[in-house]
């Protein structure tokens, strides 16, 4: 049996009715090629089983054909990549990266030390970096932003930020959550999260603004630290209950924290939402399958991943890019 000849880039170009250079740019994610045409060429290449010769391409372009997805955890070293938010975001980024014929390198950085980001860059194991979360490393990100172009960060919009960022409007999202709780007649609304993380700090800012706009006095006792994963997310509610702090609602800085709060409230004999209403943030997949299904603020992670990868490839190709901050959406379920 005669083996089927291996397709060449020229074959894909002929099928698509474009030049070979257009196919090359499209498969590299070059944003000079209009997105509909780029997606059509990528889909055609996949359907025809065309495989990029990564070794030859890398030598020709002096590239590694790899993108490094980096997760810094300076604010919460116990948070795991199995956290539902990380799982969903890493998966979506990997899908977008591999569509462009690139490989994915995943790096988790615990307790980042000075120069950690410079060391990753100097190792030259990838053509660009996608950072999931600013953690407490905002200054480290700023320090490399001017000299290292192929860097895109998922995070919040901080005033002195110099690096390209994709994220949601965290302040507006928190306002939506708290305004919803106030609309339900709730007045003793607790905030659970670690404000050391910039996105959480912005969510607390929105929480405080919504309380003030609603004519509700801020009670510092209702703001309690809570970790993103593991048993510690129960600590915030348990602390409030053991201290005798009255509350009728919880706004949690993430869905994982919110689900932990629901569990802790149930263990204390309190009903959700009859006794205490709960709103999370993220809208990860597990939120819709919890019981009761979680009311939350939705970040469009699918769009966020596409924006991050598109911006990164534009920057790899030497183009200037603007940051993108998406509008949040309140998803009302049963908590």
Q: What is the pLDDT of residue 154?
A: 97
User: What's the pLDDT at 41?
Assistant: 86
Q: Residue ranges of the chain with pLDDT lower than 50? A: 1-3, 54-56, 58-60, 230, 232-233
Q: Which residues of 309-330 are buried (b: 16+ CB within 10 A; e: fewer)?
A: bbbbbbbbeeeebebbbbebeb
304-to-88, 178, 280, 325, 327 alpha-carbon distances in Å: 11, 24, 19, 9, 11
One DSSP character per residue, 276-306 reads: -EEEEEE--HHHHHSSSPPEEEEP-HHHHHH
Q: Is 7 left (phi over 0), alpha (psi -120 to 50) or beta?
A: beta
**Integer angstrom CA distances of residue 302 from 37, 131, 133:** 20, 16, 16
- pLDDT given for residue 76 in this prediction: 56
Cα 157 to chain centroid, rounded: 13
Segment 83-127, tens digit of pLDDT? 788 899 999 999 999 988 899 999 988 767 888 888 888 888 899
* CATH architecture observed for domain 170-298: 3-Layer(aba) Sandwich (3.40)
C-beta separation of 273 from 291 below 8 A: no
Whole-number pLDDT of residue 299: 95
Provide the pLDDT for residue 80. Answer: 60
Q: What is the pTM of this model?
A: 0.78
Cβ(253)–Cβ(56) below 8 Å? no
Enumerate the CATH 3.40.50.2300 domain ranges in the chain, comma separated. Answer: 66-168+301-327, 170-298
Please give the class, per CATH, of domain 66-168+301-327. alpha beta
Interatomic CA distance for residues 253 and 224, integer angstroms: 11
Let me know: does 236 contact 175? Beta carbons within 8 Å. Answer: no
Report the distance separating Cα 103 and Cα 70, nearest Å: 14
Per-residue pLDDT, 234: 58
Q: Per DSSP, what are the bridge partners of residue 223?
A: 191
């Amino acid at each position: 049996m005669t083996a089927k000849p291996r397709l060449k880039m020229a074959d894909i170009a002929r099928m698509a009715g474009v030049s070979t250079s257009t196919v090359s740019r499209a498969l590299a994610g070059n944003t000079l090629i209009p997105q509909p045409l780029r997606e059509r060429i990528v889909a055609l290449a996949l359907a025809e089983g065309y495989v990029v010769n990564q070794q030859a391409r890398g030598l020709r372009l002096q590239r590694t054909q790899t993108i490094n997805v980096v997760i810094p955890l300076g604010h919460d070293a116990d948070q795991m990549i199995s956290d539902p938010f990380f799982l969903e975001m890493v998966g979506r980024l990997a899908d977008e990266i591999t569509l462009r014929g690139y490989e994915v390198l995943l790096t988790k950085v615990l307790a980042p030390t000075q120069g950690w980001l410079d060391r990753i860059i100097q190792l030259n194991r990838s053509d660009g970096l996608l950072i999931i979360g600013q953690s407490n490393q905002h200054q480290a990100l700023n320090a490399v932003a001017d000299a290292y172009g192929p860097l895109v960060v998922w995070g919040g919009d901080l005033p002195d930020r110099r690096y390209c960022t994709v994220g949601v409007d965290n302040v507006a999202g928190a306002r939506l959550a708290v305004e919803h709780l106030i609309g339900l007649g709730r007045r003793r609304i607790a905030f659970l999260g670690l404000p050391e993380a910039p996105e959480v700090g912005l969510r607390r800012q929105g929480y405080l603004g919504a309380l003030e706009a609603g004519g509700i006095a801020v009670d510092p006792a209702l703001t309690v630290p809570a970790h993103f994963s593991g048993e510690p997310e129960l600590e915030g509610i348990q602390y409030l209950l053991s201290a005798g702090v009255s509350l009728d609602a919880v706004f949690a800085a993430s869905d994982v924290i919110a689900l932990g709060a629901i569990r802790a409230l149930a263990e204390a004999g309190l009903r959700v939402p009859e006794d205490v209403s709960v709103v999370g943030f993220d809208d990860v997949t597990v939120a819709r399958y919890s019981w009761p299904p979680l009311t939350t603020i939705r970040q469009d992670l699918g769009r966020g991943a596409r924006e991050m990868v598109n911006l990164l490839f534009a920057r790899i190709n030497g183009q200037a890019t603007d940051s993108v901050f998406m509008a949040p959406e309140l998803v009302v379920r049963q908590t």
